[in-house]
Structure 1
Amino acid sequence: MDTDQGYDHAVWRQMANELGLHGIAVPERWGGAGAGMPELAVVFEEMGAALLCSPFFATVALALQALLDSGDEPAIEELAPDLLDGSRVATLILNGTLDAWDPGAVTIAAHRDGGANYRLSGDAALVLDGHTADIILVAANSADGVSLFAVDATADGLVREPLSTLDRTRKVARLRFDGVTGRLIGTDGQAAAGLARTSDLALVALASEQLGAAQRCLDTAVAYAKERIQFGRAIGSFQAIKHRCADMLVLVEGARSAVFHASETTDDGERAVAASVAKLACSEALLQISLDSMRIHGGIGFTWEHDAHLYVRRAKATELMFGGPDHHLARLAELIPTSHQQPEGSL
C-alpha cells in the first residue's frame, strides 16, 4: 500500500494466469470460466478479508463488467483478453466521483471530431486506480445521451494525478480530459441501462469485500480476546467482551445473508433492491465490527504495528463508495413499492 503502483505485479499475474480469478464470471465464449456472481462474490469476500492491495475491483467489477454489459462484441473480443490474462489494468469512470450511479451526474462530455472519433473533455475527481490503469472506460454525455468510451492511458490530453486517501490499501486518482480521443463502446447514447446493471453488480462485489473484512475483524477480535490476559484471566471471559463479540457475529451473519441473496439474484429489478440492501447491511456491519475489533485489541489496535485500524479506514471509505446509507435508503424507498406491488383489490 505504500508503493505508487499500489499492487504487486507478480501477485497480479498469478491471480490472472494461475488462479484464473479475472475470468471467473466471464462467459466461456470470451475466454472466461463461465461462472457467475455467486462464485465471484467468494473471491471478493476473501480479498476483502485480506485487504488485498490490487486493481482487481476496478478491472473486474467495474471495467470488465461494463465492457460485457455494453454488448459490443468487437470491443469485447479486442479488449477482454488483455484484462483476463492480467497484461493490462482497467478502470471505469461512471460519474467522475465515487458516488452512486446517476446518469444525470456524468461529468465528462463527448464531441465528434469531424470523423468517426470522439473527443472527451472534463474532470473526474475520484477514479479507482486511475493513475495505473492502461484502459479507462468513461461514461460521457454525447449529443445522443450517455455513452461509453474507451481511452488509452497514453492518449494526448489526459492528465492523471494520484491522490492521498483515507484507505491506503486502495488507490484513487484525479483524471482530467482535454480533448482526449475516445473509442465508442456500444451504441451512442444507449449506455445508461448497461451502466446501471454494472453499478448494481459492483455494489454486490463491494458488499462482498465488506463482508470478508467484517468476518476477519470478528475472527481476530475473538482470537485476541482468548489470549489477552487482564486481571488474571482472558479478557474474553468478561461479559462485556462476550456481548460485544456476540453482537459482532449477529451483524456478520446478517450481512452474509444479504450478500448471498444479492449474488444469487438474476433479475435486474430484483438485483437493484438486493444490491442496495447488501450495501446497507455490509457497510453497517463492517464499520461497527471494525471499530469494536480495534477497541477489543486495546492500545495495540490504534497503532501502525497492528492491522486493526486499516479495516476501520476501509470501512469508512467503502461506506460512502457508490452511495452512502442515506442514498440507498432513499433508493429502496423508491424501488420497493414498484417491485413489490400487490394485486389490485388486495389488502
Structure 2
Amino acid sequence: MNFDWNELAFASKKPVDGLKATFIAASREISTARFTQLVKKYLPEGNILLGLAKEPYVDGFEGQPQFRTLKAKTVRPIIDKVNSSPSKYKVATLAYSQRDLLHVINGLSVRQFVGVNGSWKYSFHTQAPYYALVQRGVPYVLVSPFADENEAKKFVRQTKLRKPPTGGTYDEGEMLDIAAQAARQSYDYSFQTGVSLGRKKGSKYTLLATTFNPVVPYQTYAMHHGASREINFSPPHDLNHYDTTHAEVELIIKAQKEKLDLQGTTMFINLLPCPSCARMLSQTEIAEFVYKEDHSDGYAIKMLKAAEKKVRRVVV
C-alpha cells in the first residue's frame, strides 16, 4: 500500500480513509530502532500511514545534514516484515511534497496525527497544519526522532556540518553570508541565528570570529525532549521559552576565551538582537551592528543607538 498525494489529491480518498490509520507525518530522518518503537506503539491500535517527504531535506533547511528527511529504503524492510505478518493491521506509505501537508490533513481522514520533532521550520503550533488539525478535531502528538538519549547524542557526534570560514577579508554582503553560514550549524528549528565579527579594513572587513545559537545542553536535546516553545505554546518572539544560548552571547563567551579585542569591531547578524542581548551588547566595545531581519519592534536599534553604537540593516 504505497500512495502518492499527486495521485490522491483529485481522486477518491476511500483507499486511505478506509484504513482509519495513525498518520505519522513525513519526518526528518529516524533510525530503524526508532521506527520500530513507533510501530510497536501505534500498530496495536490500528493501521499506520507513514508519510514520506519527496524532498531530501526539511523545507527551509536545504543542504543541512541535521535536517535530512526519512528515506523509504531505511524503513522498507520493517514495513515489509509487518505487512507479511499475520497482524491484522498494516503499514501503508504516503509520498508527498512537504508544502502539501496542509492539503493532506484537510483531504484525508485519519485516527490521529503523529509529528516527529525537527520535521518542520518554526514552531508547529504557529503553522497552518496545526490549526487544520485543531479545526478538524484530529488528536495529535509530537514525538522524538530518536530511540533514546544515547542515540540523540550520537547523532550529533556523527553528523558533520559545514563550518564557515575562520579568517579572510570580505565585504559586508559576504560577512552577512558568513553569519548565515554560521547559523546553519544550529539544530534549533525555531530559528537559526548566526554572527560574524569583523574589523574594518578599507572598504572590507577582516573576519575575527563566528558563532551561532546552539541548542543546550546538547544540540538534539529539544528534538528529543520537545522544544520549549512547542511545549508551552509560546509565540515566535517570546523570550521565556527557548532552547538555545543566543549567538550574541556565544560571541561574548568566545571573545573572553580567545581574548579577542572587540574595540571598534562590527558585528554582522542575520536577526536583530533580542532585547536582552541588546542590553548586553550595549555594554561591549563593539562599535557597529549590521543585521538582516528585524526583531522585537526594533528595541535593539533604540538601545544600541542610545549607547552610541551604529546600527544598519542590509538586505542582500
> Normalised by the size of structure 1, how large is the TM-score?
0.23
> Normalised by the size of structure 2, how large is the TM-score?
0.25
> Greater helix percent: which structure?
1
Higher normalized contact order (CA 8 Å, seq sep 6+, divided by chain length): 1
Q: Which of these two proteins has the greater Rg computed from alpha carbons?
A: 2
